[in-house]
Amino acid sequence: MPKKKVKMARERGHRQKASRKLTEMGQDVVNDIKNVCPPKLKIPSRSTSNIIYDEVHRYFVLGPRWGVRSAGSMKQVKKFAQLLCTADFAKELIKQGKFATLREMYYTAEGWEVGPFYDQGESDGIIEDLEAAFGLKREDLGLTPEEDGAAVYGKLVVNEDGVVIDATKAGRAGYTIPPTIDDVEFLKCKAKRVIAVETMGMYHRLVQEQAWKKFDSLIVGLKGQAARATRRFLKRANEELGLPVYLNCDGDPFGFHIAMVIISGSAKLAYINHELAVPDAKYLGVTASDIVNYKLPTDKLRELDIARLKQLQKDPRYNTKFWQSEIKKMLELGRKAEQQAFAKYGLAYVVKEYMPAKLKEVEEQEFLGR
């Protein structure tokens, strides 16, 4: 099938599935009313007790517990009505081929007869109910966050809404990943891997030092904790383009967490981690061993850092020889280090010396079954 048709089919598939699910929900409500039964909707429980780490797929999933949102309960009737209004709003967006931000969705409710939401957290929760109930992403429902995703630089050409964009010619910042990344068509990619970096400072350093050329890579700036669109981009690059994904983060518990959310998904989004997690992604970031081997400038671990590292030791996602060893070593050192610490040896050192050695090390460890 031609690429354009593949892209259009993907778009239609996501939107058609969402539209169909919303229609079916509406029909179920009508049928319940005709049968003089209070309308209801089953929603998977997103409580921590119902979130399970799937050892086979290597990401968090929801367990078997469900809850019921019913119009037959005085405590739930308003929320149920708001849920129906939200579903109707999403259905209209899909029908018109439009998108709205989560903030616009929140303010739209001000005009509903059932009454507005107390705050945006409440409206976001309703959207999450729909996502979990139907196994959809909010983007499939025509709803997007306020912020754009991260940036990509490298030999990638995409088609976004009929506009062809070359990620090496989109300005110094590269190509910005849109919230609707599933609608973007990958036209051409000559890269052999993806290197995603936690901070935009390191992203710009790698772009300036032409790491995308040196390592035949797409360089992705995560902007801290990666947005859903960024994680979806990494997932698509890995699966559709066949690119291995490497994650370069700070050498501290929160850098480790940022990487692991990309690898194994988050507990909060257990209901759609199959769309976001990249289980084969490899950690290329700063480790406790790097702090010692490269004599890096460091900061002392705070009590919060120590507590977090001890939590990671018990987290099933970190139950490997590599992670357990590095976490233990960091606790023993009592120190942490940032990506930019390599600037001690010069601005170009990270690309000329550190990253080639690190890539070789990670790929060898991968071969040996780290």
244 three-class SS: coil
pLDDT digits (tens, 9 = 90+) for 295-334: 999 999 999 999 999 999 999 999 999 999 999 999 999 9
Q: What is the pLDDT of residue 3?
A: 47
Which one has a higher pLDDT value, 87 or 1?
87
Q: What is the pLDDT of residue 173?
A: 85
pTM for the complete prediction? 0.87
Closest to 268 measured CA to CA, from 121, 85, 103: 121
List, in order, residues 6 or more apart from 330 with CB less than 8 Å away.
Answer: 251, 252, 253, 287, 288, 291, 301, 309, 336
Q: What is the pLDDT of residue 50?
A: 94
Q: What is the pLDDT of residue 368?
A: 57
Which of 107, 345, 349, 354 is catalytic? The answer is 107
pLDDT digits (tens, 9 = 90+) for 99-139: 999 999 999 999 898 888 989 999 999 999 999 999 889 99
pLDDT digits (tens, 9 = 90+) for 258-281: 999 999 999 999 999 999 999 999
Decide if pLDDT at 149 tops 70: no
Closest to 90 measured CA to CA, from 41, 142, 17, 24: 142
Length of the chain: 370
In the chain, alpha helices (H) = 3-34, 77-96, 102-108, 120-134, 200-208, 211-214, 228-240, 253-264, 273-276, 288-293, 303-314, 321-333, 349, 355-367
Q: Catalytic residue at 107?
A: yes
pLDDT digits (tens, 9 = 90+) for 201-235: 999 999 999 999 999 999 999 999 999 999 999 99
Grade residue 73 by pLDDT with cuts at 50, 70 and 90: confident
Decide if pLDDT at 172 tops 50: yes
Q: What is the pLDDT of residue 12?
A: 54
Residues 155, 241: Cα–Cα separation, whole Å? 12
Domain 3-144 has CATH 1.10.8.640: no
DSSP 8-state code for residue 337: B
Q: What is the pLDDT of residue 202?
A: 93
- b/e burial code for range 227-266 (CB count within 10 A of at least 16 → b): bbbbbbbbbbbbeeeebbbbbbbbbbbbbbbbbbbbbbbb
Decide if pLDDT at 1 tops 50: no
Mean pLDDT value across the chain: 91
Pick the CATH number of 151-367 from 3.40.50.1820, 3.40.50.2020, 3.40.1360.10, 3.40.50.10900: 3.40.1360.10
Q: What is the pLDDT of residue 301?
A: 97
The percent of residues above 90 in pLDDT, for the chain, comes to 82
Residues 183, 266: Cα–Cα separation, whole Å? 23
Decide if pLDDT at 2 tops 60: no
Token duo for residue 176: 């910005």
Q: Where are the domains of the chain?
A: 3-144, 151-367
